[in-house]
Amino acid sequence: MNTEMVKPRIAVHKFSSCDGCQLAFLNAGPALLELAELTDIVYFAEAGSLEREVEIDIAFVEGSISTPQDLTRIKAIRENSAYLITIGACATTGGLQGLRNLYASNTRDWTGAIYARPEFIETLDESQPVSSHVKVDLELWGCPVSTQQIMTALRALLFGVTPGDDRDKICMECKRRHNVCVLITKAAPCMGPVTRTGCGAICPAYGRDCYACYGPAENINAEALATCFEGLGLLPQDIARRFHFINCNAPNFKQAGTIWRNKS
């Protein structure tokens, strides 16, 4: 009788992105070896596993949905996956390439300006998060996500526990790390008061302002922070850029950025 335990099958899929979030897996070091013992990695192009069509237990998805081909493929992945996790800003909000959503009505204009043969370019008018098209069970924010985020969520699932969703603000992480507030002491336009933690407050720890890589935190007041930036001397277009950046399609950021872009 075969008493060998069946390992959960996992897959890591890439869509429109830079591959940075996939590298969070590859940079795991010893934890990646432990992961390989606990699970069966059946699809992960960066690591060489290419069994795309099999049914899996946990799918990690990096990247936004930007083309008709992306849309077809994400639906097939959802159908074959028991649990789907989006990783990174591109998969959760549409990413930096989502800046083109601000000019979605001019898709033909910008493709014509960039490409010699725009008729061969198949693209959606907008760069959209995965959740716009299929059910997502867990979102891991960040640009890129951290190895700790991925491994913590995966361990929880392997032991039958629902992964937690930390929505604390970067300011809370700075206090825990005893960082000096760059917004107060340097008058730097830090996005920490509206950004969720996850990175460990790396930029403020080194005296730099937060760029909101991890998207909006819970219960934020984006307009109040934007007004604070105005008091620091930032022009409306510069304030808009602080919100229309990595997570420009997150509703709170998109609204705040649009308000200040219109003021400019």
Rounded to whole angstroms, the Cα distance separating 62 from 50 reads 16
User: What would the DSSP string read from start to end of 134-197?
Assistant: S--SEEE--TT--HHHHHHHHHHHHTT-PPP----BHHHHHHHHTPPPHHHHS-----GGGBB-
pLDDT of 79 reads 95
pTM assigned to the model: 0.90
Q: Where in the chain is the domain with CATH 3.40.50.700?
A: 9-158
CATH topology of domain 9-158: Rossmann fold (3.40.50)
User: What would the DSSP string read from start to end of 39-75?
Assistant: SEEEEETTTTEE-TTS-EEEEEEESBB-SHHHHHHHH
pLDDT of 207 reads 95
Rounded to whole angstroms, the Cα distance separating 153 from 165 reads 9
Q: What is the pLDDT of residues 239-255, one digit of tens each?
A: 999 999 999 999 999 99
10 — phi, psi (to 5°)? -125, 155
Q: What is the pLDDT of residues 53-100, one digit of tens each?
A: 678 999 999 999 999 999 999 999 999 999 999 999 999 999 998 988
Structure tokens that stand for 36 in this block: 């390989």
Secondary structure (3-state) at 12: strand
64 within 8 A of 91, measured Cβ to Cβ: yes
The residue written with tokens 């959802």 in the block is 78
Q: In whole angstroms, how far apart are CA 165 and each of 145, 168, 174, 253? A: 13, 9, 19, 19
For every one of its 264 residues, what pLDDT tens digit does the chain have, with 9 covering 90 and above? 444 568 899 999 999 999 999 988 888 888 888 888 889 988 888 776 666 667 899 999 999 999 999 999 999 999 999 999 999 999 999 999 898 888 766 777 878 888 889 888 888 888 999 999 999 999 999 999 998 899 999 999 998 999 988 889 999 999 999 999 999 999 999 999 999 998 999 999 999 999 999 999 999 999 999 999 999 999 999 999 999 999 999 999 999 999 999 998
Rounded to whole angstroms, the Cα distance separating 202 from 210 reads 8
